[in-house]
Amino acid sequence: MFRRIANEILSGLTVAIVALPLAIAFGITATGTSEGALVGLYGAIFAGFFAALFGGTPGQVTGPTGPITVVATGVIAAHGLEGAFLAFIMAGAFQILFGLCRLGSLIRFIPHPVVSGFMGGIALIIILGEFDQVQSSFLVAAGTIVLMLVSTRVIKSVPASLIALVIMTLILRLTDSLLQDVRVGPVPLNTAIDYIGQIPESIPSVIVPEFSGSLILTLVLPALSIALLGSIDSLLTSVVMDNITGNRHRSNKELIGQGLGNAASGLFGGLASAGATVRSVVNVRNGGRTALSAATHSVILLALVVGLGAVVQYIPLAVLSGILILTAFGMFDWESLRKTHVAPRGDVVVMFATMIITVLVDLTVAVAVGVVLALIVHVVKSRRRKASIVHDGADTYSVEGPLSFLSVDHVFTTLRNGRTHLSLSLKDVNYMDMSGAKALLTFIDHSHKSGVELDIKDLPPHVADRLIALANEEQRDKLETVVEDRLTGLR
């Protein structure tokens, strides 16, 4: 028991180190000022702590993320920080309402191409938003990116973002006095480098925003947008966590936890937050499996904040830009992008349409349009609305109808019940989209890891072709162990 607790605390420490530069970077991006460093950190501290305690995904880490930051930036620009904090509190209330109304279950119906396009669009927005800082201090941003790429390969035990942050800041501090003597005309060269600057060091306290009926009405749509995006972002991270751990999250409880976290964040002057995929994966891979590790990450950040101002002021903004740009590149679904030439054309259209609308129009509009397009593609490609799972006796099942984003959650939830052997017939699957193929490949992977003896038989040629086209090399090897000989001939 003691060793388990120790592992959770150590994992929380590791995640805090990963979260520190990201929280600062997202906070400054959202506010456009050095004050944003604390706003971002308070978001990771308070939203992270309460979401960990009351959420429904054990081990999930909450903090400022790309999608939330993009929306929060607009809200802060339009209504100021005080208005934004009220919007964050209202967004938290909406999320609690979503959870009580059991809307979290709807996440199962968001198609994989919509998720890929949405995250790709967010990544593009972040990258484009950092261009000004990169143009003014290109060498610093480029050096940060190169250092992160190198350290990722060489040093596994320390987060690359922290290594780049420390090394680049030290280099620039050491060369600062030299640059003062180097001038471009009458201007010292070191003035081209912007730093965070002094931030206040204080124990966070409750900030009750002033509000009126008219202000609340004005903030309803921004708050709802934050709540929707935060919910989608968090629940998608929960799905990723399920894929890694083999567990099943409680989506409605997770929404309530996220709502409580965002309400608390707004009250303490923090940025709205959501379940953060990278930080959550780091937590799980370092042994974090419960709320203790995620809550510990917030407590450690709080301890750091008390005396952080004197150090943080010397961090160059271009270093944070480099960290954000590389983080944004990691948000792209590169596997799906590489498979566009073999993926279903309808799914490819949905993915890129969602990505373009995310960048040019609005994030929530992009998700809505993407889902509608996916439904249209489904209706055109398949005459049946969703698949059904038929129990043929003992541990034998068959799937009938389209294996698509509308049915995969029901199908694989039914099949995943702790058995040691499973025979699955796909003879009557008349259509399979990218979501169906990804879900089936993930199910095969989980069965392999869990020691389940899985046999998949009667694959129609179009199903076999799609699985082979969308699987990576490791997944193809696992396919050959569970599928009949016809699969080998199609490679």
pLDDT > 70? residue 251? yes
| Helix H or strand E segment including 62 | strand 62-63
- Residue 412 confidence (pLDDT) above 90: no
Q: Is the pLDDT score of 32 beyond 80?
A: yes
Instruction: Quote the CA–CA distance of 486 and 491 in Å, as a whole number.
Output: 9
% of the chain residues with pLDDT over 90: 40
Estimate the crossing angle of helix 473-482 against helix 461-470, to 10 degrees. Answer: 150
Mean pLDDT confidence for 32-38: 87
| More confident site: 265 or 1 | 265
SS3 (DSSP) at 401: coil
Of 345, 460, 454, 344, give the one whose Cα is nearest residue 401: 460
Interval 447-457: pLDDT, tens: 888 888 888 88
The mean per-residue pLDDT over the stretch 368-393 comes to: 84
pLDDT of residue 487: 54
Which pLDDT belongs to residue 484?
59
Query: Which stretch of DSSP H or E encloses residue 422?
Result: strand 421-428
3-state SS assignment for residue 247: coil
Mean pLDDT of 86-100: 96
Count of CB atoms within 10 A of residue 242's CB? Answer: 15
pLDDT attached to residue 187: 46
For residue 310, what are the contacts with CB-CB under 8 A and spacing of at least 6? 201
**Mean pLDDT, rounded, of the chain:** 86
Distance of alpha carbon 195 from alpha carbon 319, whole angstroms: 9
Average pLDDT over residues 147-158: 86
Q: Which CATH architecture has domain 388-489?
A: 2-Layer Sandwich (3.30)
The predicted pLDDT at position 176 comes to: 67
Q: Does residue 486 have a pLDDT over 70?
A: no
Predicted structure pTM score: 0.83
pLDDT digits (tens, 9 = 90+) for 423-479: 899 988 988 999 999 999 988 888 888 888 888 888 888 888 888 889 888 888 888
Spans of all domains in the chain: 2-329, 333-381, 388-489
pLDDT, tens digit (0-9, with 9 covering 90-100), for 215-234: 899 999 999 999 999 999 99
Mean pLDDT across 308-336: 85
Let me know: does 214 contact 251? Beta carbons within 8 Å: no
- pLDDT at site 265: 97
Rounded Cα distance between 465 and 175, Å, is 58
Is the predicted pLDDT of residue 211 greater than 80, yes or no?
A: no
Q: Is the pLDDT of residue 384 over 70?
A: no
Average pLDDT over residues 125-131: 89
